[in-house]
Every structure is written in structure tokens, then in C-alpha cells.
Amino acid sequence: MTLPSPDAPPPPGASRTRPDRSRTVLLGFLTLGVALLAWSLSAVLLMLFGAVIVAVILHAMAAPLERHLKLKPRPAVAAAVVLALLFLSLLGWLIGDRLTEQFEDLRERLPSALLALVEWARGFPIGLALLELWDSASVGDVPWTRVAYAATQTLNAVGTVLLMALVGVYLAIDPRLYRVGLVRLVPPAYRERINEALLASGHALSRWLVAQSFSMLFVGITTAVGLALLNVPLALTLGVIAGLLAFVPFFGAIAAGVLAVLLAFTQGPTQALYVGLLSLAIQQVEGNVIMPLVERWAVSLAPALAIMAAVIFGVLFGLPGLVLSTPLMVVTMVLVKKLYVEGFLEAAPPPAAS
């Protein structure tokens, strides 16, 4: 048996072992670093995702203008922004004053509604137990501290929304510029698939937003009309709140229903029961009739996934994550399908070496 010479080259497989291991370790550290950076910048990334949603909405509004009026992309987006501002201004002129008065009335009625609910709950053993649990869990706090904190959070939210809208306008003007720039950050071998995944994500997000708009419109109108027929005060305001909260599936409907039932307690427990049944009926029709119909055209998202997304992103990122949970899940599903399922699991195996 002859020993290999020290100067002899290593076997072909051995020469690649150390570089392959070094590359794997380097890739692992790089992935961990990117994940930690993304976690530390989660608020900024959520703001950018909100800007992408604004850009998708503006692009969807601009597309018919490009087709029918033969406008170029930038003038079409500018026209879409102007139309959106005109619509909001017209809406504010028509119902703005009445809505403002009702919101102020709602703020004044909520304490008496809560008091009525507490008095009703005291008549039942389980209600007394829940009230005692609530009192024991409550801690004293300075009211002005709460007011200052709420004011600060409100100002931060307004600033974030304005910045989100501004960035969204720039993204909508030339989305290809930013998409191509993002794709060039990955190795050339993966650029085509990444580009396809981003295009598919934008298309799915656009369709989901259209479907969700129909759902929100249905919830808002039916809630306002139903509460008005039941002679519940502030029906318009509650309808607007219900329509906006419908953007967050399941949990938004619960929050809107609880608010409506709480306000109805000022008219008695029977009225609160009717309002609760109305909210439940609207939620069932929206979830089992409206959404399945529009999801035949748009992206389909299982209810369990929507609830899991709300819980996961809400725990990770707080209220912004909860609000954006469903569109985040839509984009995540498309990216997983395009990059992992089709690009890795179902990819054609490389040809065997002859």
C-alpha cells in the first residue's frame, strides 16, 4: 500500500469540501445578519409595505386611464392622485360635517354606554365575576399620562400615513425602476425567478385589494342601513367604522360589532341583542357569500390563514402588523409558491452526469 505524496493534489471531492463549508457558514451568518437587520427595521419595513399597497391602489386606478385615455404611466398616476383627492374632498363636503358631529357624539356617549353595560352585567353572577376580575387587573395610572401617550401615538400614526402615501406615489410613478433595482441585488442566476415572483405578488395584492374593497363597502353600507332601521344612534359613524375595520378580517368585524353593541346598551339590553344579531348576520354574509364570490376572481385566502396571519403579525409587530396582516400573508403565500415550491421543490432536477 503506497501512501499519497504530500505534493500530490487532493481528490476532486476533497478540494471542494472546505470551500463549500466556508460558503455555507458565510451564507448562514449573512442570512442571520439580514434577519436581525430586518427585525430592527421592522417599523420601517412595514411602512414601506404600506407604501407598496398605496402604489398598487394608484396603479390600479391609473391602468384604466392608460387604456382608455391613452395616457403615459406618469400622467396616468398623477391623474389618479388628483381623482382620489377630488373624491375624498367631495366625500368630506357631503358627509364630513355630519360625520364629525357624530364622532364627537360617539365620544360623549361611550362612557354612559359603558356604564349601562356594567349595570346590566351586575345582574348576573358571571357578570359580577368578570367585573371583579377586571377591577383586580386594572392598575391606577395618571390620566394625563394616558392622554399624552395617546396624542403622541396619534401624531406618529398621522405622520406615518402621510409618509406612506408620499412614498407610495413615487413607487406608483415608476414601479419598474424600483423592482429592477431590487432584483439586481440578487445573483444573476436567480434574477428572472425573483422578478417573476415580485410581479406575481403585485398582481395578487392588486386583486386582493379590489376584493377587499367590495367587502368593506358591503360591510359599511349594510351596517349603517341596518343600524338606522333599528333606530340606533350614530348609525352613519358606526357604519364607517365597521367598513374601515373590515380591512382586518375577523378581528375587525368583532371590534366593530362590540362597539355597536356597547352603544346600543344606552337603549337597553334588548336593543343591544338586536344589534349583536345584526352584526353577526352581516359578518356571516360577508364571510360566506361576498368574499367567496369575489375570491373567484381575486386571490383566495383560507380563513384560518387570515386569522393566523393576524395573530402572528400582530404579536410580532403590534397594531401595524395586525392591520397589514392579511396583505402580508397574501404576498408571503405568492413568494413561497414562486420561490420555494416552484423554484425549489418542484424544479426539474439537474441532468445526471454521464
pTM to 2 decimal places: 0.74
Q: Is residue 17 part of a domain?
A: no
- 221 or 306, greater pLDDT: 221
Number of structural domains found in the chain: 1
What is the pLDDT, as a whole number, of residue 305? 80
What is the pLDDT, as a whole number, of residue 298? 67
Report helix, strand or coil for 66. Answer: helix
Please compute the mean of the pLDDT values over residues 205-232 and round it to a whole number: 90
Q: Convert the pLDDT of each residue in 268-283 to its tens digit.
A: 888 889 999 999 999 8
Q: Is residue 299 part of a domain?
A: yes
Identify the domain containing residue 214 by its residue range: 42-133+151-345
Please compute the mean of the pLDDT values over residues 327-333 and round it to a whole number: 88
Q: Is residue 290 part of a domain?
A: yes
Q: CA-CA distances (angstroms) from residue 278 to 50, 224, 231, 248?
A: 32, 11, 13, 19
- 1 or 28, greater pLDDT: 28
Is the distance from CB of 306 to CB of 326 less than 8 angstroms? Answer: yes
Q: Is residue 4 part of a domain?
A: no
Q: Is residue 123 part of a domain?
A: yes
What is the pLDDT, as a whole number, of residue 35? 67
Neighbours of 75 (CB within 10 A): 14
What is the pLDDT, as a whole number, of residue 297? 65
Q: Which residues contact 205 (CB under 8 A, 6 or more apart)?
A: 52, 53, 56, 327, 330, 331
Neighbours of 329 (CB within 10 A): 21
Q: Is residue 314 part of a domain?
A: yes
Q: Is residue 350 part of a domain?
A: no
Q: Convert the pLDDT of each residue in 7-48 to its tens digit.
A: 555 555 444 445 556 766 776 677 677 667 767 777 888 888
Q: Is residue 143 part of a domain?
A: no
Q: Convert the pLDDT of each residue in 88-141 to its tens digit.
A: 888 888 787 877 887 788 888 878 877 777 777 676 666 666 556 566 555 444
Distance CA 185, CA 34 (A): 13
